[in-house]
DNA sequence: GCCGTTTTCGGCCCGACTGTTTTCAGTCG
């Protein structure tokens, strides 16, 4: 059993205790223990030697629970809590605006046990009598519930990919000649609502029948098998003979707009694009791979992530497409947190991991002093951290460590350290962490002021959206991008999955304005640092090439680039 | 539930905001 599994169980206990209404400190003890467990080394070894209580935050009681969990795989207390707190109540806690207190009030006063209950109570006006629930709160809850409803059948990219890869493996194991992931997932959409795959087999009907018995609850419709994935996403697998695999895959990957553009192009060439591929005078042109289909239309094979119908076909017909960013070109792990604020590891540990991952430099940016909840750094601690960063750097050379901060943007657009302190740092990530509810005008002015600040190197997670959870705050993106272009300020593409905060449709606007991108890992633990795949593919979706990305620069050029604005 | 003692219980990271109150509880980051 891994430390993560134990930590996850403890976090669940903490969440359930909170919902139950136990002392918040009781719940927090489990949360702190979960943090400690993640950071602890060989948990199993420590348990064997009876040394679990040497871990800070683990006392006798928790040590016993860990030992029992490691031995049996269960924690009776957790099982009890799961029985006690209905799933719907846990789901309620995911709705912004609903914390343990309000959920308890809703349960006790009118018996709300799930978001569905809340929805009908809201519709029937049964909430207006509940103490503490005024008109504004009801309005906010209504909005949050709508977002929750819309998000219900959706998954973040990585969750969708996990499911799809499981299906893919099963198809290959069943003897598919070829199989591939298609649909939104293949185009690296950040959110998916269904999964699409294509498989080939010499006898499609035979394979469909075999696959149908492999996936419970599946249905065959023509050449397509439908069922539900592990996490409940609808899956469709199209099965074709090998000679049609390329065409079928290309069609299943294409967005509707891309497909329409392909159809128009086919028409211009007196061809027809049908379900099985290109037809010339009623005769099917074989396309064993996607490149064959594109070639028949006079196109190079386009990367899946740009097949969105946003001008890629026209551009490809005009000439070679610009080179898109690839993961290996990222040389620096930037916007990284350490245990100085709310990260789990020391600067040295983060540096060692970055080196192991093949990075050439690290840009440390812990939380600033306004972020008390995250252990934000006072001026004294920030300066002390700088000392430590330099001393670690002296030992890790030629690997470089840049010392900066993730400074809160205050409501008036100011950063939360005096200029002379910011001056001493290598760079500043300026981010909004509060006051999401400002008016569009106020929020725009705030962001523009932060961008214009000569110490702001990069605007961190600019929109404030949390995928599937929270809408972006209201602001005029064009005005902010203009200010960034004018002042040479970079904009962050945050690699934390929920925080993939700049919509890919905005990226071309940044590219056209010449605004540098910075792919910030926002890592809080060593293991999160290398996880840049999704962000890189989102950058590619926005047609971002390596030149536009600051942390593809070699260390010296990066150092120069992050200082340039201040002169 | 842990921790550190003021050795047997009280404090635990906190500041700002918001809406609902009419002095504060709940949420958020």
Report the CATH architecture of A3-151: Orthogonal Bundle (1.10)
Task: List alpha helices for A215-342, DSSP H.
Answer: 245-253, 256-268, 290-296, 312-318
Report whether pLDDT(A96) > 80. yes
Helix (H, G, I), strand (E, B) or coil at A237: strand
Section A164-171 average pLDDT: 98
A124 contact partners, CB below 8 Å, separation of at least 6: none
Mark the nucleotides of strand B covered by protein, meaning any atom under 7 Å from a CB: 1-3, 11-21, 25-29
Round to a whole number and report the distance in Å from the CA of A8 to the C1' of B7.
35
CA of A100: nucleotide with nearest C1'? B26
CA A553 to CA A561: how far, in whole Å?
9
Helix (H, G, I), strand (E, B) or coil at A370: coil
Helix (H, G, I), strand (E, B) or coil at A123: helix
Note the pLDDT tens digit of each residue in A366-378.
999 888 778 889 8
Class level of CATH domain A255-321? alpha beta
Helix (H, G, I), strand (E, B) or coil at A365: strand
Note the pLDDT tens digit of each residue in A405-431.
999 999 889 998 999 999 999 999 999
What residue ranges do the domains of chain A occupy? 3-151, 153-240, 255-321, 327-566
Report whether pLDDT(A396) > 80. yes
Nearest to A519 by CA among A474, A467, A481, A558: A558
Report the CATH architecture of A153-240: 2-Layer Sandwich (3.30)
pLDDT band at A492 (very low <50, low <70, confident <90, very high): very high
Q: Which residue's C-alpha is at the least distance from the C1' of B15?
A: A372
Are A245 and A198 in contact, with CB atoms under 8 Å apart?
A: yes
Report the CATH architecture of A327-566: Alpha-Beta Barrel (3.20)
A218 contact partners, CB below 8 Å, separation of at least 6: A211, A212, A225, A226, A227
pLDDT for the residue numbered A566: 85
Section A348-372 average pLDDT: 94
pLDDT for the residue numbered A548: 96
Q: Which residue's C-alpha is at the least distance from the C1' of B26?
A: A101
Round to a whole number and report the distance in Å from the CA of A144 to the C1' of B25.
21
Cis preceding linkage at A398, omega within 30 = yes
DSSP state of A305: G
User: Whole-model pTM?
Assistant: 0.90
Q: Backbone dihedral region of A57: left (phi > 0), alpha (psi from -120 to 50 degrees) or beta?
A: left
CA A368 to CA A382: how far, in whole Å?
8
CA of A23: nucleotide with nearest C1'? B1
A460: tokens are 């961190």
Q: Backbone dihedral region of A514: left (phi > 0), alpha (psi from -120 to 50 degrees) or beta?
A: left
Note the pLDDT tens digit of each residue in A231-269.
999 999 999 999 999 999 999 999 999 999 999 999 999
Report residue A520: phi and psi, to 5°. Answer: -90, 130
Round to a whole number and report the distance in Å from the CA of A67 to the C1' of B20.
47
């Amino acid at each position: 059993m891994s430390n993560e599994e134990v930590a996850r169980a403890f976090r669940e206990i903490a969440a359930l205790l909170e919902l139950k209404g136990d002392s918040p400190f009781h719940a927090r003890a489990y949360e702190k223990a979960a943090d400690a467990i993640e950071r602890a080394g060989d948990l199993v070894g420590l348990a064997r030697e009876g040394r679990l209580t040497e871990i800070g935050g683990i006392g006798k009681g928790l040590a016993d629970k860990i030992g029992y969990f490691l031995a049996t795989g269960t924690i009776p207390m957790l099982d009890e809590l799961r029985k006690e707190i209905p799933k719907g109540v846990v789901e309620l806690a995911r709705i912004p605006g609903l914390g343990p207190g309000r959920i308890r009030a809703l349960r006790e006063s009118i018996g709300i046990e799930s978001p569905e209950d809340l929805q009908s109570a809201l519709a029937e006006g049964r909430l207006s009598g509940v103490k503490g629930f005024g008109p504004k709160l009801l309005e906010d809850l209504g909005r949050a519930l709508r977002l929750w409803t819309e998000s219900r059948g959706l998954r973040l990219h990585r969750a969708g990919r996990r499911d799809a890869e499981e299906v893919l493996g099963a198809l290959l194991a069943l003897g598919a000649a070829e199989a591939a992931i298609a649909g939104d997932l293949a185009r690296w959409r950040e959110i998916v609502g269904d999964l699409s795959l294509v498989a080939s087999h010499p006898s499609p009907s035979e394979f469909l029948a075999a696959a149908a018995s492999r996936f419970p609850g599946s249905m065959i419709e023509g050449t397509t098998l439908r069922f539900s994935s592990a996490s409940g996403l609808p899956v469709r697998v199209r099965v074709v003979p090998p000679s049609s695999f390329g065409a079928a895959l290309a069609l299943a990957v294409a967005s509707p707009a891309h497909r329409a553009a392909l159809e128009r192009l086919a028409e211009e060439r007196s061809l027809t694009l049908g379900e099985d591929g290109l037809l010339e005078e009623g005769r099917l042109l074989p396309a064993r791979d996607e490149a064959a289909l594109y070639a028949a239309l006079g196109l190079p094979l386009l990367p899946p992530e740009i097949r969105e119908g946003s001008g890629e076909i026209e551009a490809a017909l005009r000439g070679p497409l610009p080179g898109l960013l690839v993961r290996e070109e990222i040389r620096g792990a930037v916007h990284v947190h350490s245990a100085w604020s709310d990260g789990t590891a020391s600067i040295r540990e983060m540096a060692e991991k970055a080196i192991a991952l093949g990075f050439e430099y690290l840009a440390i940016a812990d939380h600033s002093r306004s972020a008390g909840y995250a252990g934000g750094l006072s001026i004294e601690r920030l300066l002390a951290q700088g000392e430590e960063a330099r001393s670690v750097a002296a030992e890790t050379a030629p690997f470089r460590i840049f010392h900066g901060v993730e400074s809160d943007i205050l409501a008036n657009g100011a950063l939360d350290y005096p200029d002379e302190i910011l001056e001493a740092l290598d760079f500043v990530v300026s981010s909004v962490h509060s006051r999401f509810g400002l008016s569009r005008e106020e929020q725009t002015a705030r962001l523009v002021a932060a961008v214009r600040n000569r110490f702001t190197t990069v605007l961190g997670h600019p929109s404030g959206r949390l995928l599937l959870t929270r809408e972006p705050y209201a602001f005029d993106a064009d005005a902010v991008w203009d200010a960034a272009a004018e002042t040479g300020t970079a904009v962050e593409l945050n690699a934390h999955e929920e925080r993939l905060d700049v919509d890919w449709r905005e990226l071309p606007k940044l590219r056209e304005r010449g605004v540098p991108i910075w792919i910030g890992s926002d890592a809080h633990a060593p293991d999160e640092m290398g996880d840049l795949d999704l962000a890189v593919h989102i950058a590619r979706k926005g047609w971002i090439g390596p030149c536009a990305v600051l942390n593809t620069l070699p260390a010296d050029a990066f150092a120069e680039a992050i200082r340039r604005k201040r002169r």
